[in-house]
Amino acid sequence: MGVILSIPADAGRRRIEELLQENEDRVFKRWLEIAGSASGGQVDRSSLASQLRELYQALRQSFGDSGDLSDLRGLLAELSRTRARQGFTSTETAIVVFGLKEALYESVEDDASPEALRGFIWFSRVIDDLGLFTVESYATAREKVILDQAEQLLELSTPVVKLWDGIVAVPLVGTLDSARTQVVMEKLLQILVDTGSEHAVIDITGVPAVDTQVAQHLLKTVVAARLMGAECVISGIRPQIAHTIVTLGIEFGDIVTKATLADALAHTLRASGVEFTKSRGSRIAVRTVED
């Protein structure tokens, strides 16, 4: 980057610095307009103005300091980060930087001196460079946001709930990949130890498709729970899932499966020796399950 700044267009460069100083109000006002319209109504004018003011000062400062752009880059990285988090697009973010070119161009045109025009080419390159840097930091920030969210989702999406004394349930929602199954398995096994439960219900009502990988993960989880002395019931097998599992040829062996979570609860309650008596007016009925 230092190479660009050392182009022997010193006269032009000086003229640009002067223009940035002399016409500060005008250039800044125009820049704010361009940046403001590109950002839509998502950012309030005063905070944008203070952001741009800071950038403008840093830019002039760095031109003065023999072209050290590191402060300016720091500010731009910060701007990209906040904008990525606020949901701006990369274009909207980059236009903030590129807008300065257009803003200054009007002053250059009025000046019409050869130095100013030559300087503007140099200035253009610097801004292009900074613009690209902004887009890059924006992309990095976005990736970080996505990674963070994926991690949070992994934690959030695997609750283990207690249904009854000695019975826990894991409602699974969404895609089951290796990473998630790992989390589910770890959590389930830990809860089995912590609560001393002997029964676990894995509910897959919210899993859109059960392919061989998901089935394998489920089977492994059940076997692991068994090794710890707990029996697992898989519930929430919808008709289309049952159809698909049969066609694929997956065998669940002696693992108990149920259509609904209610059936699974009834099964585990009976298995753990809880008895229901039907009293008049009661709507609770425990369906008999043939095993």
What are the residue ranges of helices labelled H in the chain? 2-5, 10-22, 24-38, 45-64, 70-86, 90-111, 114-156, 178-195, 212-227, 239-248, 261-271
Indicate whether 244 belongs to the interface with other proteins (CB under 8 A).
Answer: yes
Q: Which parts of 262-291 interact with other proteins (CB under 8 A)? A: none
Indicate whether 249 belongs to the interface with other proteins (CB under 8 A).
Answer: yes
Indicate whether 147 belongs to the interface with other proteins (CB under 8 A).
Answer: no
Shortest approach of other proteins to residue 83 CB, angstroms?
24
114-156 helix and 90-111 helix, angle to the nearest 10 degrees: 170
Q: In the complex with other proteins, which residue's Cβ is closer, 247 or 277? A: 247
Indicate whether 212 belongs to the interface with other proteins (CB under 8 A).
Answer: yes
Strand pairing category for 256-258 and 231-235:
parallel
Indicate whether 21 belongs to the interface with other proteins (CB under 8 A).
Answer: no
Indicate whether 182 belongs to the interface with other proteins (CB under 8 A).
Answer: no
The interface region with other proteins, picked from 115-123, 198-206, 243-251, 253-261 by CB under 8 A, is 243-251
Q: Give the contacts of 229 (CB within 8 A, at least 6 positions apart).
A: 198
CA distance 98 to 56: 13
Indicate whether 243 belongs to the interface with other proteins (CB under 8 A).
Answer: yes
Q: In the complex with other proteins, which residue's Cβ is closer, 243 or 278? A: 243
Phi-psi label, residue 67: left if phi above 0, alpha if psi -120 to 50, beta otherwise: left
Positions touching other proteins (CB under 8 A) are 175, 177-178, 208-213, 215-216, 239-241, 243-244, 247-250
